[in-house]
Structure 1
Amino acid sequence: MAGLLIAALVIAPIAALFWQAVQGSDGLWSHLGRNVLPHALGQTAILMTGVGVLVAGIGTSMAWLVTAYDFRGRRVLEWALLLPLAVPTYIVAYAYLDLLHPLGPVQSAIRTVLGYDSPRQFRLPDIRSMPGAIVLLSLVLYPYVYLPTRAMFMTQAANLVEVARTLGTSRRHIFWRVAVPLARPAIAVGISLALMETLNDIGASEFLGVRSLTISVYTTWVTRSDLPGAAQIALAMIVLVVALVSLERWARRHQRYSISAQRARTFAPAPLRGGAALAAFGLGFLPVLFGFIVPATFLAVEAWKRFQFAGLSDRLLIEARNSFVISAAATVAVLLCGLVLAYGARAFPQRAMLAAQRVSTLGYAMPGTVLALGVLIATASLDRLIDRTAQEWFGLSTGLLLMGSGVALGYAYLARFLAISVGSIEAGLARIPRSFDQAARTLGQGVTGTLWHVHLPLSKAAIAAAGLLVFVDCMKELSATLLLRPLNFETLATHLYGEAARGTYEEAALAALAIVAVGILPVVLLARVGRKP
């Protein structure tokens, strides 16, 4: 029953979107359909195509580089290539906007070297463009492809590669004819995740001048005060997400992938020496340099300048406290719900429970702006119902009880990140043999007792890992936080967004650096897991 209730909570925002969309938009839908949607769809399609191609190229090639070749520095690159995951896309965009501004340090240094005096004489192409957005988003999101693809490369049997080599296939051709086809499921999953994050992005796209569907939802809702119109655009985004996932599955519907039942022997990496080793390390270092080191160093320098000038302001401490409290509370709720769903599916493997588990993961596939819009509609309706009931029964007005207390924001976090909790806890429970459950039952333990005395102690590492991932994602989440936070409630992410909107990004460098520092924690966890073939 609890699992079905949790699934209903995830479904409620989607149902609210459908209900609001059919209300009509006071004649503005024709304007949206004629002037807003075509351009937004075109921009979104170009952005997602470019990011998909680039993350596939960077992630797959880097995974093959550190798996198939052995060179000095390879061990460092194996985990360093994950570091861009620690920097949210909007922070990278803000950092490069300052770095590559016509009056910024990079272009000023180039003009000094070339002997020019002003930007009128020499300036680089504007990074506020579609190509700029594609490159910057790809530099942050390629680890979504790199991580699963490298794991797939590491588990590919050595005999497949050796047979190909005996048939005269070079190592370069082995990559295209053997390794990539076998790793296609991992590559497809990684690209899908990267494209989901691209569709969810609001900060980077807005400040880089890309008018995506996410930006259109936000402006239609906030600027035009057209909630039904925003809901209709949000439904178009949901259709796009469903089409994306369906297309990926359809493309490999006839392909089957299997491995030997015995433990496969992984192929030995080819040693590189001299110039080849140096070139390999340099090639692998480039994504780390531009995806993490450059923006992180810029943040550290600007944060130090800000700290020397004004120290730690009370406002920043309050925002850090707000971020921690709302993220910690949401993490606890997400873990509890994830545990109920994952253990419920194990203890009661009926169709209803398994369906509830699958439904609970839908929120992660929805962009944060779309989910926030659905949560707003659902919680605002419930707020009105509570207020009307309180006035009739007690003569009191409760106002915006859910929206004003932050419950709506926590609800959005729960619906969006529940899939992470369910997946991680389910993986942890899957490692516990069913015989343990049966032994506990014979000793008189019920379902709850078995969970408490057997499963929780044995799966605490998986639960802790899930909690860490959820907490960091809540700290970094911008789109839902921006739209659902209570009045006078700022987090580190929304403060950073506000300063960037005012053109004073350096004022929030300390907040950005704090978000990056927190984001490094799951990267360390993933790096440790990634070392295990």
Structure 2
Amino acid sequence: MLTLIPLVVVLASFLTPQPEIWKHLAQYVLPDLFLNTLWLLLGVAAGTGLLGVSLAWLTAVCEFPGRRFFSWALVLPLAIPAYVTAFVSIGLLDFTGPLQTLLRDWFGSSAWFPRIRSTGGVILVMSMALFPYVYLLARNAFLTQGKRSLEVGQSLGLSRWQGFYKIALPMARPWIAGGILLALMEAMADFGTVSVFNYDAFTTAIYKAWFGLFSLSAASQLASILVLLVLMLALGEHFLRGDKRYNVIGKSNQSKIHLGRRSRWLACCYASAVLAVAFVIPVAQLLVWSVQVFATDFDARYPAFVWHSILLSGMAAVLVVAAALVLAYALRLYKDWPTLFFARLSTLGYAIPGTVLAVGIFIPVAWLDNQMLAFLKPWLDIKDSSILRGTLVVMLLAYAARFLAPGFNAIDSAMQRITRNQEDAARSMGVTGPALFRQVYFPLLRGGIVSAGLLVFVDVMKEMPITLMTRPFGWDTLSVRIFEMTSEGQWDRAALPAMALVLAGLIPVILLTRQSEH
């Protein structure tokens, strides 16, 4: 219900169309939004696909200097929120930034330098921030193939490159498509990056309709279009795959392809350049800015920003872990189709953009608020105009719907490792009911619970649109602080909260890389 109610509420806006709103949207808003979204999706798909697949192939199948280091280091860009990479890129590459200033000092002009505030700039930043999704999945696919698929191709007369394009790449298609689909969903759900670039997208249009035009109906109808686009994206990938089947034909411990002297150093330089642009340079610039502004910008408000972020993330993590435990345990006990259907349905919130969830949660909460006020006012002396609106309850409900999927996946994976023999042995000793869960399941699930809590904690720390649109008055967090500073173009003052988010994001990324290596 937590996932379905926002979706139903948002999609129900089609049942009560308002002609004047739709006329305004169709004439002034939707053409640019659709065109911008199309270019963004095409660019991100091409960028993340090219970077992710090429780097995955090099680190999984080829041998070159630094391969072991790059195999895990190329996941590190996931620790940096895309909107942080966005404002760092603008701060470095804009007309007033240090790079163009240096170019003007050297050459007298920087007019020839490409504009970072452009469609290409948005695509570049998002591709650098999101390519690890494709890299992780594609690398796993290539590891299971190893050299064997190429050897089969060579026995049929294909060269190494022909074997890659005709055998290895098609066999890895589901993993590559899955990674690109994740990247595209993140791009469509993104709010911070497009707002930093002032790039009109559906997420920024929803925010402006709600807080700029003060029209919740316009926001919900824009949100409904975005939901349909996300569903079309997911269904499109499913139909493109068709009824093809893919099998594992190799093992990850096969010998690597030894590149030639020139090729191996080119591979090393390529991986180094991508890692530098996507992670090293942004983190270094954040550190420089943080040191410069720390003495003047760090004041009594910052402990409140940190405390609010930690408190919200901690409460959301506890709520999501509790719900995920119930779902995973229910699936363990019952294998009937209603349980499977509703458990999977409840994790669809991760594919719904935060702006959509914020609108979809706020509308029914506002209705419930009005009903409660109408019922209680005759009996109680209530002076407030709301009971639930503007409270942490709305935020936590939206967080739970949005981030249940990563929490559930971590706990369910740990649940799958508990064998029936362990459960039967405990039952034979008289351990049943709640004691069975407390004495057997919980100790074995502890690692999965910790991983789920960390993942949700960091995701909520970095989350921007839900926090911006549903937070109580005065409840500013690190992400809200970043939004306020970047909205005013003060990139250096946004560095302190951004550095805190990057450090927090490194925790799950390190856990993820350690797990992928094993």
- Tell me the residue number matched to 1:335: 321
Residue 96 of structure 2: which of 77, 99, 103 is its match? 103
Aligned amino acid, residue 9 of structure 1: L
Aligned amino acid, residue 204 of structure 1: T
- Tell me the residue number matched to 2:233: 244
Tell whether the 8 Å contact from 1:63 to 1:146 is kept in structure 2 after alignment: yes
Give the alignment's TM-score, normalised by structure 1.
Answer: 0.93
State the shift of 1:98 in Å.
1.1
Note if 1:13 corresponds to 2:2: no
Aligned amino acid, residue 268 of structure 2: F
Q: Distance in 1 between matches of 2:328 and 2:383?
A: 39
What are the within-5 Å matches in structure 2 for residues 359-398 of structure 1? 359-397=345-383
Q: Distance in 1 between matches of 2:133 and 2:252?
A: 25
| CA displacement, residues 303-330 of structure 1 (integer Å, 9 cap, x when unaligned) | 00011x3263111111011000000100
SS in 1 for 2:377: helix
- Tell me the residue number matched to 1:283: 270
1:441–1:33 CA distance, 2 compared to 1 (3 A): farther
State the shift of 1:397 in Å.
4.1
State the shift of 1:519 in Å.
0.9
Q: Distance in 1 between matches of 2:298 and 2:93?
A: 27
RMSD of equivalent CA atoms: 1.8
Q: Distance in 2 between matches of 1:457 and 1:173?
A: 50
Tell whether the 8 Å contact from 1:52 to 1:194 is kept in structure 2 after alignment: yes
SS in 2 for 1:124: coil
Residue 142 of structure 2: which of 153, 157, 161 is its match? 153
Tell whether the 8 Å contact from 1:386 to 1:398 is kept in structure 2 after alignment: no
- Tell me the residue number matched to 2:388: 402
Aligned amino acid, residue 516 of structure 1: V
State the shift of 1:24 in Å.
3.7
- Tell me the residue number matched to 1:254: 243
State the shift of 1:284 in Å.
0.9
Bigger shift: 278-287 or 332-341? Answer: 278-287
| CA displacement, residues 276-295 of structure 1 (integer Å, 9 cap, x when unaligned) | 32211111112211111111
State the shift of 1:41 in Å.
1.2
Aligned amino acid, residue 353 of structure 2: P
Give the alignment's TM-score, normalised by structure 2.
Answer: 0.96
- Tell me the residue number matched to 2:285: 298
1:446–1:389 CA distance, 2 compared to 1 (3 A): farther
Q: Distance in 1 between matches of 2:13 and 2:152?
A: 59
Tell whether the 8 Å contact from 1:21 to 1:229 is kept in structure 2 after alignment: no
Note if 1:128 corresponds to 2:117: yes
1:515–1:386 CA distance, 2 compared to 1 (3 A): same
SS in 2 for 1:65: helix
Tell whether the 8 Å contact from 2:150 to 2:167 is kept in structure 1 after alignment: yes
What are the within-5 Å matches in structure 2 for residues 177-326 of structure 1? 177-259=166-248, 264=251, 266-272=253-259, 274-307=261-294, 309-310=295-296, 312-326=298-312
Residue 476 of structure 2: which of 490, 494, 518 is its match? 490
What are the within-5 Å matches in structure 2 for residues 339-358 of structure 1? 339-358=325-344
1:494–1:170 CA distance, 2 compared to 1 (3 A): same
Bigger shift: 10-19 or 270-279? Answer: 270-279
What are the within-5 Å matches in structure 2 for residues 451-530 of structure 1? 451-530=437-516
Residue 78 of structure 2: which of 85, 103, 119 is its match? 85
| CA displacement, residues 208-266 of structure 1 (integer Å, 9 cap, x when unaligned) | 23211111111122211221121111111111111111110101112101236xx8464
| CA displacement, residues 382-407 of structure 1 (integer Å, 9 cap, x when unaligned) | 22223233313323245433333211
Q: Distance in 2 between matches of 1:43 and 1:78?
A: 34
Aligned amino acid, residue 99 of structure 1: L
Q: Distance in 2 between matches of 1:436 and 1:224?
A: 59
1:217–1:301 CA distance, 2 compared to 1 (3 A): same
| CA displacement, residues 167-197 of structure 1 (integer Å, 9 cap, x when unaligned) | 3333322221222111111111101110111
Tell whether the 8 Å contact from 1:144 to 1:191 is kept in structure 2 after alignment: yes
Q: Distance in 2 between matches of 1:396 and 1:19?
A: 32
Structure 1 unaligned blocks of 5 or more: 1-7
Aligned amino acid, residue 28 of structure 1: I
State the shift of 1:155 in Å.
1.6
Q: Distance in 2 between matches of 1:368 and 1:235?
A: 13
Aligned amino acid, residue 363 of structure 1: G
| CA displacement, residues 402-447 of structure 1 (integer Å, 9 cap, x when unaligned) | 3332111111110000011111111111111122223333333334
Aligned amino acid, residue 315 of structure 1: R
Q: Distance in 1 between matches of 2:275 and 2:33?
A: 31
State the shift of 1:36 in Å.
1.0
Aligned amino acid, residue 15 of structure 1: V
- Tell me the residue number matched to 1:3: none
Tell whether the 8 Å contact from 1:88 to 1:516 is kept in structure 2 after alignment: yes
Aligned amino acid, residue 296 of structure 1: V
Tell whether the 8 Å contact from 1:217 to 1:234 is kept in structure 2 after alignment: yes
Q: Distance in 2 between matches of 1:25 and 1:91?
A: 37
Q: Distance in 2 between matches of 1:404 and 1:479?
A: 15
- Tell me the residue number matched to 1:57: 50
Q: Distance in 2 between matches of 1:24 and 1:251?
A: 33
Give the count of matched residue pairs: 518
State the shift of 1:26 in Å.
6.7
Tell whether the 8 Å contact from 1:102 to 1:123 is kept in structure 2 after alignment: no
Tell whether the 8 Å contact from 1:86 to 1:516 is kept in structure 2 after alignment: yes
